[in-house]
Amino acid sequence: MRITYGVLGLLVAATPVVAQDKQKVRQGPVPAWVEVSAMRPVPESPSGPVFVRRQDLETRLTDHGQEQYIGYRIKVLQSSALELGNIALTWNPAAGAPIVHSIQVFRDGQTIDVLKTAGFEVLRREDQLEAAHLDGMLTAVLRVPDLRVGDEIDVGMTIASRDPTMGSNNAGLLALASTLAPGRYHFGLRWDMARAPHLNVTPDLTAAMTKGAQSVDFRFDDPPFLTTPKNAPPRYMWQRAVQFSDFADWADLARHFAPFYAKAATLSAGSTLKSEAARIAAAHATPMARAAAALKLVQQNVRYIYVGLNGGNLTPASAEETWQRRYGDCKGKTALLLALLAELGVAAEPVLINAQGGDDGIDQRLPIPQLFDHVLVRATIDGTQYWLDGTLPAVAGMNTQLIYPVRWVLPIAAQGRGIERIAWKPASLPDEMSLFEFDARAGFDQPARIVSTQIVRGVKGLQQQMQFAAATPQQLDQAIRQNAIGDTWQTIEDVSWRFDEKTGASILTIKGTGTIDWDQEDGSGRSLALPGGGVSPPERRVRSADQAQDAPYYSSPDYSCHVTTVRLPTATKPPQWSAKPGYDNSLFGRRYYRAWELRDGAIRMVRSSRIEQPEIDAEWAKRDNARIAAFDNSMAWITYTPTGRDGVVGHGERVPATYDMDWSGSEVPCMPAPSSK
């Protein structure tokens, strides 16, 4: 659970739990365990849309879950803040109905009890239905009538949360936003004597911390604006945060969750999944082929729907239930895949990951299960580990490398091994490639034949596969034509798309004709800047004086490659052609490469950029700042000079043309061979 203070209010993200029929908002007094802050006087000349007289968020930890109190009194100073009158509560009915303590408006010495004339409208909220996301949460909304500029609105409520998978354990995060309206803020944590959690408090909160025997509180007046060090790794964004957890370490958390997956993956004696496994075993002789077939079965025959109903937030649905209803989320699909692999004699285990790449620094965090957002399977076959994700489309097979930008994983094992670091290395294949072939052999002033190919890998490639596979070839052809004609293209003759499962590449190729915009040089000379050939110089890595100067600098890993081939007019000769220089340079952990070759009547260019060191230290950055001035950021110009006799294109590099090889394959010369650097 993450609870964050916002500029105008509180955003509460409670852990969803089992849904039951507790769907009404109740009214009741403020709980005895809550400590309401004293009201802060409104200054004579307040600035901004609101002034926060008090804002309290307090969480109580118990053996049966958590209770969150949210209370605030805010003065409305500008019309833009009247949206404070739109009050919404979101909760899971299994944990109990929310309790509203009061909603009042103070105006010119009068107190208006809003609940006497207005009530909450309860909605069933499936706001991510289009994303196949069912969580069973309820939302109640109330619109405060006649709220005006100058009013003070006072709200108090308590919302309970509980996840049966957690048992009597609690874990979560409280955080104060980096940008806040002027005023008084307080957040705190309470616990029963037997439930004292482990705490991890960021250093910027220690001065505001008050510890009690069964509590910890943090109080602020006008909290300062916070910034993270510019270009620092994501872990530096953790500021003004308090983590709490009843788990001793990550291994303890893994041991807690292991029985849930073991139970979900256990098949009954008469399970139909046993016959499915037997069919796979009969059709495939090797463990590798059997595991691949089991993965395809789960991917193709069980559609993905996130299920947060009936204890499904952290609890995996059983393999048999998922198979019977033919839909499931990552937990259910993982349990199903584990069950099949067990029947096939393939060793496998569930593994938690953060698929969004938000795991930087997780080794410095307390064991909080919500820091992970996805679970998949890791299988071991003939001594090699493979990743299997039942939620991906069927074109995504078993891989020795994770497709997600993951640095840490948590195996869910009964013995509890703790989190594991995933070794990072530069990508061997580009994430994105663009290939352009211009056939200008007919002459400078004639339309050229053009072939354009876009290759996308990784998560983006799979997303494109799902998008394009949903359309017929005719629909895709029509959509491309409508969007492309009138730009570079005069005519489009063919549009083709395919997905290469071996390299995980989505490949879109367009063929047609178009006009090349040759620049006219003095006399009858011509020049052309090749697409994809130029690159802007990197920015200096510097920070303002109030930021941590010794923090490392970070670049999100990526690898792009551009390949362009120009078949030159047949009336020209090689010595009449020249090109900008190539380069092989590295700055701030990124390698820049461009190479040329003129061969067989065609100029070939490859230009690529790849992160080879995501983090660099301050001294490294300082050295490379001094090298930016010498960085070659010239566009990829090729020039034809009719009187030329000694044109230069490249310096002996060997660059294949777009048509010389399959650039969607597993080996592409986008970077020079290792020995050449």
Task: Encode pLDDT of 409-462 as tens digits.
Answer: 999 999 999 999 999 999 999 999 999 999 999 999 999 999 999 999 999 999
Q: Do domains 2-246 and 251-421 have the same CATH topology?
A: no
Rounded Cα gap, residues 297 and 295, in angstroms: 5
Average pLDDT in the chain: 91
Overall average pLDDT of the 322-338 stretch = 96
Beta strands in 125-214 (DSSP E): 133-134, 138-143, 152-161, 171-176, 184-191, 198-201, 209-212
Q: How confident is the model at residue 135 (pLDDT cuts 50, 70, 90)?
A: low
Question: 432-458: string of b/e by CB count within 10 Å (b at 16+)?
Answer: bbbbbbbbbbeebeebbbbbbbbbbbb
Residue 17 has pLDDT above 60, yes or no: no
Distance, in Å, from the CA atom of 617 to the CA atom of 461, rounded to the nearest integer, reads 32
What was the pLDDT predicted at 410? 97
pLDDT at residue 9 tops 50: no
Which of 187-191, 287-291, 514-518 comes out lowest in average pLDDT? 514-518
Q: In the numeric block, which tokens belong to residue 286? A: 């090797």
Q: Kindly indicate the confidence band of residue 509, based on its pLDDT and cuts at 50, 70 and 90.
A: very high
Q: Give mean pLDDT, residues 516-520.
A: 92
Tally of CB atoms within 10 A around 638:
24
Helix (H, G, I), strand (E, B), or coil: what is residue 227?
coil
Residue 270 burial (CB < 10 Å; 0-12/13-18/19+)? Answer: exposed
Burial of 43 per CB tally in 10 Å (0-12, 13-18, 19+): exposed
pLDDT tens sequence across 229-239 = 999 999 999 99
How confident is the model over 457-486, as pLDDT tens digits? 999 999 999 999 999 999 999 998 888 777
User: Using 50, 70 and 90 to split pLDDT, how confident is the model at 92?
Assistant: confident
Give the span between the Cα atoms of 228 and 134, in whole angstroms. Answer: 35
Helix intervals (H) in 424-526: 458-469, 473-484
Residue 53 DSSP SS3: strand
Does domain 251-421 match CATH 1.10.10.60? no
Side chain identity at residue 194, one-letter code: A
Question: Are the CB atoms for 452 and 496 separated by under 8 Å?
Answer: no
Average pLDDT for 272-298? 98
The secondary structure element, H or E, covering residue 295 is helix 287-301
Instruction: Check residue 125 and give its pLDDT.
Output: 53
Kindly state the average pLDDT of the residues 567-596: 96
Strand 86-91 with 138-143, pairing: antiparallel
- Residue 14's pLDDT is 32
Cα→Cα distances 662→396, 453, 665, Å: 21, 11, 6
Query: Helix, strand, or coil here: 487?
Result: coil
* Residues 362, 368: Cα–Cα separation, whole Å: 10
The domain segmentation of the chain, as residue ranges, is 2-246, 251-421, 432-447+515-676
What 3-state DSSP class applies to 464? helix
pLDDT reading at 612 higher than 70: yes
- Provide DSSP, 85-106: GEEEEEE-GGG---EEEEEEEE
> Across residues 29-41, what is the average pLDDT?
97
Residues 6+ apart with CB under 8 A from 491: 485, 512, 513, 514
Least reliable range by pLDDT among 124-138, 166-180, 493-507, 589-603: 124-138
C-alpha triplet 514, 515, 517: angle, nearest 5° = 140
145-149-153 Cα angle (round to 5): 60
Q: Which residue has the tokens 């110089």?
A: 537
> Is the confidence at residue 673, as pLDDT, over 90?
no
Whole-number Å distance between alpha carbons of 166 and 257: 8
Q: What is the pLDDT of residue 675?
A: 58
CB 381 within 8 A of CB 399: no
Is 2-246 assigned to CATH 2.60.40.3140?
yes
Position 134 scores a pLDDT of 67
Q: Residue for token digits 């070939």? A: 604
Structure tokens at 36: 């309401």
Report strand pairing: 184-191 vs 50-62.
Answer: parallel
pLDDT at position 54 over 70 = yes
Question: Do 514 and 448 contact (CB within 8 A), yes or no?
Answer: yes
Q: How far apart are CA 350 and CA 17, in angstroms?
A: 21
Q: What is the pLDDT of residues 480-501, one digit of tens each?
A: 888 877 767 889 999 999 999 9
H or E element: which one contains 425?
Answer: none
Question: What is the Cα gyration radius of the chain?
Answer: 30
Q: Tell me what percent of the residues of the chain surpass a pLDDT of 90.
A: 84
pLDDT of residue 522: 78
pLDDT value of position 4: 33
What's the whole-number mean pLDDT along residues 130-154?
A: 85
Give the tens place of pLDDT for each residue, 163-175.
Answer: 889 999 999 999 9
For residue 57, is pLDDT > 90?
yes
